[in-house]
Chain A
Amino acid sequence: MNDVLMQSVGILGGLGLLSSIFLFVISKAFYVYEDPKIALVEDILPTANCGGCGSPGCSAFAEKLVKTDDISDLFCPVGGNETMQEIAKLLGKEIKEKPPMLAVVRCQGYCDVRPHTTKYEGPISCAIESMIYSGETDCQYGCLGNGDCVDACLFDAIYMDETDIPVVISDKCTACNACVEACPRDIIELRPKNKKDLKIFVSCVNHDVAGAARKSCQNACIACGKCVEVCPKEAITITDNLAYIDPVYCTLCRKCVDVCPTNAIVETNFPVKKVKA
């Protein structure tokens, strides 16, 4: 009886010992050195794996941060400046601060202002619809409303409103650029986030001439130039029949919003203006 017990303990113990020696030798022979800093940096990163930094995931980005000497061009949009500063402190490298950004949807083609002239019954995907034709309305630049941007967002920061135009939830948006890349029409743009989430931007991407643009959508920019005249900082330019407000020069004075005849320039989160008596 005792013999059997000792035998089995001996065999199993011996096997275990042999295997552990074998594994030890293998692990020494095939050892790959990994900088311990990579793991530390990865712990600081938000581990959202969104790809907003340009690397395929947080771990790849951590490796890139440790291995590159000059990291001033690298940035984690989800973590923002705080995370980057922490990493810089750990690695002893210089970083450049970047203003926080926010995705902005530049289309106001709601059903009542942009008449539908055709019907689309194909696959529910903006990319495929835009490959097949210019969309259900006569505007060949505006939102198609199939929600490719919503599918692309990993942070639930975009939803489609009841008229099938996407809406960005500013608090959740991390400016990872996924929706910008998903949109086949380049409607979504990343703009600097201002205090109190104040925004002024041209909410239209229609490059048609005034008549055609207005006919396809009442909210379209008709490139009349009134906003350019009124802007005190020369922040607005018109290229190819479309106005654009450069966020670097814009001081949020709201003068352009008042003069825009088609409501293509949008202001959000501003206090209601006092009506002069």
Chain B
Amino acid sequence: MLQTFPLGGIHPPENKLTKDKPIEKMPIPKTVYVPVAQHIGIPSEIVVNKKDVVITGQLIAKASGKISAHIHSPVSGKVTKIDKIVDHSGYKQQCIVIKTDIKATEEAQINTDKLRTEIKLSPKEILERIHECGIVGLGGATFPSEVKLHVNADNPVDTLIVNGVECEPYLTADHALMLAKSKEILVGIQILIKALGVDNVIIGIENNKPNAIELFEKLTKNNDNIKVASLKVKYPQGGEKQLIKAVLNREVPKGGLPNQVGVVVHNVGTVFAIYEAVQYNKPLMERVVTLTGKNLINASNFWVKIGTPVKDLLEASGGIPEDTEKIINGGPMMGKALKNTDIPVIKGTSGILLMPDVESHRPEVQACIRCGGCVSVCPMGLEPYLLMSLIERSRIENAIDNDLMTCIECGSCSYICPAHRPLLDFIRFGKKLHNQNKAS
């Protein structure tokens, strides 16, 4: 019996078109656009000026506030302007535009191919290094990683879970990384063990990646501390709370964080970024992005520099197919359609998905037939139909009483609804209204 979370969940078509593709290197972009709001928390503060010459890995925006992250220049070149451009949020945001000096960028590449297993830094130094290198959670939530690793005495941590689930359809970035950099990820796990002082590690991988499960089982055979958990294919298995429930049978309290049940969860991509940061002092400047779509000529996984415009990516993979209607940043379940193709790849972009015309339209919204489908699939045990009708009538307080804020925005309710009701849109709107009311 495969492990999984007990409540709700759906099984959308997997469509992992790029699962056998290795990670290709993306050519260095001519211009990069680096937004300052790439992570959850306060946007970074720009520390360079127009016409400054920057080198690869140089700090260009520093963390401001407790929950924030540094941003480093992904290329060597010259800052041509600091301007507002449309980013993944659909709005214009502050952004640093750097014209690349391709030769200098190539020379400044940090080669991390050689495996370094010896961990020289102390736990405190590891945390500092992770902060300095601007590492954020690469699974999509982009929460600053260093903040997660601070262990306090009230909530002792006993288990580290490494999230290699990748339950989003289409995306294979984590899968490809696990196959290509398995040894490095294991060193990354050792680094986190040292930083957290835990002795129990579980690597959670969904059952649709048998080669990755096999590989990690082989590599961790002689290590009793690290276990590989093979998980049932079910969305949203990769959600932090669902994963903890599946592998440890512990439930994170309502509105709480994983460290309250003694767990820290990190994505495999983050673990690899931490390895590079700690062993090579390499800041987070590039990541694996799955470029996929049913009609795309060269759908594959790429190493992409942060700030590369999406159109450069599309050019490298054979151009936009004719019947493309929607370009999504992320997967089909939690991703967001992009407003134009000038929008850059950011730290949280795990995939770019091209949807053809026939698949990308929303069907007509009909009246709720009270089938309860949304209730049965909600992994958090909420009643989405009720929340939607409460929010439609501006009764936010009542919605809060019905646990509106525990929604993880996985979109299972909207996916399953036979009347095609925009449940998640309204739930997100209600959460936004509540946060606004709280702020004012």
- Spell out A's residues near B (CB within 8 Å): 117-118, 121-123, 125, 127-128, 131-134, 140, 208
Q: How far is the CB of B195 from chain A (nearest CB, A)?
A: 37
CB proximity of B429 to chain A, nearest CB, Å: 5
* A140 touching B432 in the complex, CB below 8 Å, given contacts A122-B425, A123-B426: no
Across the interface, do A123 and B425 meet the contact criterion of CB distance under 8 Å? yes
Contact between chains at A127 and B429 (CB < 8 Å): yes
Instruction: Flag B345-385 by CB within 8 Å of A: 1 or 0 each.
Output: 00000000000000001100100000000000000000000
Min C-beta distance of A241 to chain B, whole Å? 11
Of B3-11, B89-97, B150-158, the segment with at least 4 beta carbons within 8 Å of chain A is: B89-97
Q: Which residue of A lies closest to B422 (CB)?
A: A123
Closest A residue by C-beta to B361: A121
B365 cross-chain contacts in A, Cβ below 8 A: 123
Contact A134 B90 (CB under 8 A): yes
Total contacting residues, chain B, CB less than 8 A: 18
List chain A residues, Cβ under 8 A from B91: 133-134, 140
Using known A-B contacts A122-B362, A132-B90, A133-B90, determine if residue A117 contacts B339 with beta carbons closer than 8 Å: yes
Shortest B298–chain A CB gap in Å is: 26
| B92 and A140 within 8 A (CB) | yes
Which A residues touch B336, using CB under 8 A? 132-133
Chain A residues with CB under 8 Å of B362's CB are: 121-122
Contact with A along B328-355 (1 / 0, CB 8 A): 0000000011011000000000000000
Question: What are some 9 contacts across the A-B interface (CB < 8 A)?
Answer: A118-B339, A122-B425, A127-B429, A131-B432, A132-B336, A133-B339, A134-B90, A134-B92, A140-B86
Given contacts A118-B339, A133-B90, A133-B336, 4 further A-B contacts (CB under 8 A): A118-B337, A118-B340, A125-B429, A133-B337
Closest 10 CB pairs of A and B: A133-B90, A121-B362, A123-B422, A134-B90, A128-B429, A134-B91, A123-B425, A128-B425, A122-B425, A131-B432
Q: A131-B432, A134-B86 are known contacts. Are A117 and B425 too (CB-CB below 8 A)? A: no
Chain B 300-315 interface mask (CB, 8 Å, partner A; 1/0)? 0000000000000000
| CB-defined contacts of A118 to chain B, threshold 8 Å | 337, 339-340
Separation of A29 and B91 alpha carbons in the complex (Å): 63
Contacts of B92 in A (CB 8 A): 134, 140, 208
In the complex, A125 Cα to B433 Cα: how many Å? 14
- Report how far A134 CA is from B337 CA in the complex, Å: 12
Q: How far is the CB of B150 from chain A (nearest CB, A)?
A: 32
Distance, CA A248 to CA B351, complexed state (A): 54
Residues of A within 8 A of B428 (CB): 131
Report the tally of A-B residue pairs with Cβ distances under 8 A: 41
Contacts of B339 in A (CB 8 A): 117-118, 133-134
Partner of B429, one of A131, A134, A208: A131
Least Cβ distance of B428 to chain A in Å?
A: 7
User: Which residue of chain A has the shortest Cβ distance to B325 in the bound complex?
Assistant: A119
List of B residues within 8 angstroms of A132 by Cβ: 90, 336, 425
Known: A131-B432, A133-B91, A140-B91. A117 touches B340 (CB 8 A): yes
Residues B410-431 near A (CB distance < 8 A): 422, 425-426, 428-429
Also in contact, A122 and B422, with CB within 8 A (given A117-B340, A134-B86): yes
Chain B residues near A123 (CB-CB < 8 A): 365, 422, 425-426
Task: Give the nearest-CB partner of A121 in chain B.
Answer: B362
Q: With A and B bound together, what is the CA distance between A128 and B428 in angstroms?
A: 9
A118–B360 alpha-carbon span in the complex (Å): 13
Nearest CB on B from A96, distance (A): 27
Chain B residues, Cβ within 8 Å of A140: 86, 91-92
**Docked CA distance A208–B92 (Å):** 10
Nearest B residue to A132 by beta-carbon distance?
B90
Closest A residue to B340 using CB positions: A117
Complex Cα distance, B90 from A123, in Å, reads: 17
A125 and chain B: residue at smallest CB distance:
B429
Which of B92, B340, B365, B432 has the most chain A CB atoms inside 10 A of its CB?
B92
Inter-chain contacts of B361 with A (CB < 8 A): 121
Chain B residues whose C-beta falls within 8 Å of the C-beta of A134 in the assembled complex: 86, 90-92, 339
Chain A nearest CB, measured from B202 CB (Å): 36
Which residues of chain B from 390 to 440 have a CB within 8 Å of any chain A CB?
422, 425-426, 428-429, 432
Q: B334: shortest Cβ distance to chain A, in Å?
A: 13
Q: B197 CB to closest chain A CB, in angstroms?
A: 41
With a cutoff of 8 Å between Cβ atoms, the chain A residues found around residue B426 in the complex are 123, 128
Q: How far is the CA of A133 from the CA of B86 in the complex (A)?
A: 10
A69 CB to nearest chain B CB (Å): 29
Instruction: Give B364's nearest chain A residue, CB to CB.
Output: A121
Q: CA–CA, A49 to B9, complex, Å?
A: 45
Is A133 a contact partner of B89 (Cβ separation < 8 A)? yes
Q: How far is the CA of A182 from the CA of B337 in the complex (A)?
A: 26
How many angstroms from the CA of A208 to the CA of B85 in the assembled complex? Answer: 11
* Residue of chain A at shortest CB distance from B423: A123
Report A-chain residues with C-beta under 8 Å of the C-beta of B422: 122-123, 128
Tell me, rounded to whole Å, the shortest Cβ–Cβ distance linking A185 to chain B.
12
Residue ID in chain A nearest B431 by CB atoms: A131
CA distance A256 to B86 in the complex (A): 32
A6 to chain B, nearest CB (A): 57
The minimal Cβ–Cβ distance linking A23 to chain B, given in whole angstroms, is 36
Which B residues are CB-close (under 8 A) to A208?
92
B153–chain A nearest beta-carbon distance, Å? 39
Taking CB atoms, residues of chain B closer than 8 Å to A133 are: 89-91, 336-337, 339
CA distance A121 to B362 in the complex (A): 6
For A117, the chain B residues whose CB sits under 8 A away are: 339-340
Bound Cα distance from A122 to B365, whole angstroms: 10
Shortest beta-carbon distance, B234 to chain A, in Å? 27
Q: How far is the CA of A1 from the CA of B339 in the complex (A)?
A: 91
Q: How far is the CA of A128 from the CA of B429 in the complex (A)?
A: 6
B residues near A127, Cβ cutoff 8 Å:
429
